Amino acid sequence: MTPTYYLVLSAALFCVGAVGVLIRRNAIVVFMSVELMLNAGNLALVTFARINGSLDGQIMAFFVMVVAAAEVVVGLAIIMSIFRTRRSASVDDSNLLKY
Amino acid sequence: MNPVLAADITLPHINYGAIAPILILLGMACVGVLAEAFLPRTLRYPVQVLVSLVAQVAGLATIIGLALSNYAKKPTLTAGDALAVDGPGLFLQGAVLVLGIVATLLIAERSVERGGAFVAQAAVTAGSEADAEQARRQPSQTEIFPLSLFALGGMMLFVSANDLLTMFVALEVFSLPLYLMCALARRRRLLSQEAAVKYFLLGAFSSAFFVYGIAMLYGFAGSVKFHDIAVAAISSGKSDLLMFIGLAMLAIGLLFKAAAVPFHVWTPDVYQGAPTPVTALMASCTKVAAFGGILRIFYVAFLDSRWDWRPVIGVIAVLTMVIGAILAVTQTDIKRLLAYSSIANAGYVLTGVLAMQKDGISSSLFYLVTYGFTVLAAFGLVTLVRDQDGEATHLSRWAGLGRKAPVLAGVFTFLMLSFAGIPLTSGFTGKFAVFSAALGGGQTTLVIFGVLSSVLLAFPYLRVVVLMYLQEPAADAPTVAVPGALTSAALAIGAIVTLLLGVWPSVLLDVANSAAQFVG
């Protein structure tokens, strides 16, 4: 099986994630969509590592995973603190700052 | 079966001396975290302020030492080519620290608002009984100091990163603390938390683009080192499509941090909602870091393919200057006005960057420092105009301030004139530098739009001045707090540097000129 299929899959995952960020309302789901985009990046990195015959891409995927984990910690803390006050995680309710 | 698995792993040589400034900042940030964990509550504030300032001054001294010991002339790569210690890198690291010290003074101020501008316990539900209690009585938490040290250390790493992976990790190291710092305002906590959510979700979205761009460029060049990408870009037989997709996604991630149109929508909301000292830090230091990364990527990795991407980035620069200026005209809140002005200013720096020659680098470096000092002083003054709800940021509340507080209004007028680019201020010399560099680089169209945009942008600034002097103060006009020693120092530094670099710009321009050579 040629590695190109994995690139197509990764591009499809990235697009699904990007569309999810743009159309979903719940902050947690939006954030999950961002994680999907990051993992699409990981898949592309690993596939290119295979195509290029070097290990760099696989190592980079580990770095991206660690950074994504750190991002989850910060992100959930922020979303939790706003949820406690508003009793809602909808991004549409965050409408105090505009114009 | 797979030959690469058999390769030996050799550890890269690390020149600890050359990366000492970054190590000092990140190390002292860890000391700050330990102090937070083990010191009694009363001791934390003085210790944290001391640790924070000592770390930045020591880092700055090390950078000056490195620059004087000819690292600027004889640039080196270290840590397996992951970090570059060269003129622009050292200059930008120094700029981040100098601006960071002034921002730290604003963050550490505790007399303007009793207990400081930050929440005592961020976990307390906003609007509850306990929240009102903490806003009235308890002093600010001191986690803000280690957080800001981590952010500054990440920015320094970001501007000297010489491969895309290091750059991505550094981007997150400085972004994650900033997301948290946005959520820590003492008053109007819902606005502050909303700003943090918006900044976080959009920031994570843009770094996902950055990661995918890295993956594409890795597929294109087989490496993420800038030098290898530059070599791959001129060799034939590689897929240009991968390179352009990668570069476009990378640019989205970077231009988001720099707040360029159309990736600017977070800026006004975040600048308004975040605690004002943090806004000052973001407007000055983050802008330096973002443009440091943009300069290095464009001038090291993609210099030879500039004929292909320069028109696209040129369109973004024009949009940034024009839309930033137009939307600044319509603003009614001083923090949002300054946010749109910072968007327009990002366009001016981008104009300098697109000159794509040596004075493009030096003028951009110079502009970033001049803008940083002026914007720090401006946000410092915004913290002083207060009523019983905290800062009074609506423009109508500023009517007649010239009579109530002549000194504050005078300094603010001076800063506004600098933003508007009046001669004898650093705003003029900075704009002159970037526009003449862009003219020298053949970017006449950009300069025309830049001058038009600065004329347009002068209107909202002068409107604030007119408002302060020519209108009667309202009966319930806000009071002007007496700045404490720390805020006074920050304001004085900002205003004096704005004047000094307007009258005598060659002090800094010479340094920027001698630093403007990237290591390849």
pLDDT attached to residue A1: 64
Mean of pLDDT values over B227-241: 84
Chain B partners of A81 at a C-beta cutoff of 8 Å? 122-123, 126, 183, 193
Grouping H, G, I as helix, E, B as strand and the rest as coil, residue B349 is helix
Q: How big is the A-B interface in CB pairs under 8 Å?
A: 136
Measured CA to CA, the distance from residue A91 to residue A30 in angstroms comes to 9
Residue A96 lies in a domain: no
User: Of A41, A79, A91, which has the smallest distance from its Cβ to B212's Cβ?
Assistant: A41
Q: What range defines the domain where residue A71 resides?
A: 26-89
Residue B1 lies in a domain: no
Task: Judge: A44–B197 Cβ closer than 8 Å, yes or no.
Answer: no
User: Of B7, B172, B215, which has the smallest distance from its Cβ to A71's Cβ?
Assistant: B172
DSSP code of B286?
I
What is the number of alpha carbons within 13 Å of residue B10 lying toward its C-beta? Answer: 3
State the smallest CA–CA distance between residue A1 and chain B in angstroms. Answer: 17
> Per the structure, how many domains does chain A have?
1
DSSP code of B430?
H
Q: What range defines the domain where residue B445 resides?
A: 15-515
For residue B31, the one-letter residue type is V
Grouping H, G, I as helix, E, B as strand and the rest as coil, residue B355 is coil
Residue among B1, B2, B200 with most chain A CBs within 10 A, to mutate: B200
| Confidence category of residue B1, pLDDT binned at 50, 70, 90 | very low
Question: Please, what's the largest Cα pairwise distance for chain B?
Answer: 83
Closest to B380 in 3D by CA, of B257, B498, B500:
B498
Alpha helices by DSSP H, listed for B187-265, are 189-221, 226-234, 240-258
Q: What is the pLDDT of residues B433-453, one digit of tens each?
A: 999 999 999 899 999 999 999
Alpha helices by DSSP H, listed for B354-483, are 358-382, 401-404, 406-420, 426-440, 444-470
Strands in B479-480's sheet, in edge-to-edge order, are B390-391, B385-387, B479-480
Grouping H, G, I as helix, E, B as strand and the rest as coil, residue B84 is strand
Q: What is the pLDDT of residues B100-120, one digit of tens each?
A: 999 999 999 988 887 788 888
- Answer yes or no: are the C-beta atoms of B56 and B97 closer than 8 Å: yes
**For the whole prediction, is pTM greater than 0.90?**
yes
Question: Please, what's the largest Cα pairwise distance for chain A?
Answer: 52
Residue among A26, A35, A82, A88 with most chain B CBs within 10 A, to mutate: A82
Residue B7 lies in a domain: no
Residue among B10, B125, B212, B228 with most chain A CBs within 10 A, to mutate: B212
B150's tokens: 């981590």
Give the CA angle between residues B52, B53, B56 to the nearest 5°: 90
Q: For A87, left (φ over 0), alpha (ψ -120 to 50), or beta?
A: left
**Backbone CA torsion sign across B88, B492, B271, B53:** positive
Measured CA to CA, the distance from residue B464 to residue B396 in angstroms comes to 9
Residue B337 lies in a domain: yes
What are the distances in angstroms from CA B206 to CA B162, B210, B213, B252, B515? Answer: 20, 6, 11, 7, 30
Residue B409 lies in a domain: yes
Rg (CA), chain A: 17
Task: Judge: B204–A64 Cβ closer than 8 Å, yes or no.
Answer: no
pLDDT attached to residue B305: 84
Mean of pLDDT values over B495-499: 95
For residue B95, the one-letter residue type is A
Mean of pLDDT values over B210-217: 95
Residue A4 lies in a domain: no
Q: What is the pLDDT of residues A7-49, one digit of tens each?
A: 999 999 999 999 999 999 899 999 999 999 999 999 999 999 9
pLDDT attached to residue B4: 53
Measured CA to CA, the distance from residue B196 to residue B178 in angstroms comes to 9
Closest to B340 in 3D by CA, of B324, B323, B356:
B324
Task: Judge: B215–A44 Cβ closer than 8 Å, yes or no.
Answer: yes
Residue A66 lies in a domain: yes
> Per the structure, how many domains does chain B have?
1
Parallel/antiparallel/unpaired status of strands B76-78 and B83-85:
antiparallel
Residue B30 lies in a domain: yes
Residue B69 lies in a domain: yes
Peptide bond into B12 cis (omega under 30): no
State the smallest CA–CA distance between residue B176 and chain A in angstroms. Answer: 7
- Answer yes or no: are the C-beta atoms of A17 and A34 closer than 8 Å: yes
What are the distances in angstroms from CA B108 to CA B26, B143, B174, B181, B425? Answer: 19, 11, 19, 13, 28
CB-based burial label for B70 (10 Å; 0-12, 13-18, 19+): exposed
Closest to B64 in 3D by CA, of B90, B31, B28, B102:
B90
Task: Judge: A84–B125 Cβ closer than 8 Å, yes or no.
Answer: yes
Any idea which of A73-77, B70-74, B95-99, B418-422 has the lowest mean pLDDT? B70-74
Measured CA to CA, the distance from residue B508 to residue B518 in angstroms comes to 18
ipTM over 0.90: yes
Q: What is the pLDDT of residues B367-391, one digit of tens each?
A: 999 999 999 999 999 999 988 878 8
Q: What is the pLDDT of residues B284-342, one digit of tens each?
A: 999 999 999 999 999 998 888 888 899 999 999 999 999 999 999 999 999 999 999 99
Percent of all residues in chain A with a pLDDT value above 90, rounded to a whole number: 70
Measured in whole angstroms, the distance separating CA B38 from the mean position of its chain's CA atoms is 32
For residue B520, pLDDT over 70 is answered with no
CA-based nearest residue in chain A for residue B124: A81
| Average pLDDT value over all residues in chain B | 91
What are the distances in angstroms from CA B416 to CA B40, B377, B381, B397? Answer: 43, 11, 12, 17
For residue B131, pLDDT over 90 is answered with no
Residue B520 lies in a domain: no
CATH number for the domain harbouring residue A84: 1.10.287.3510
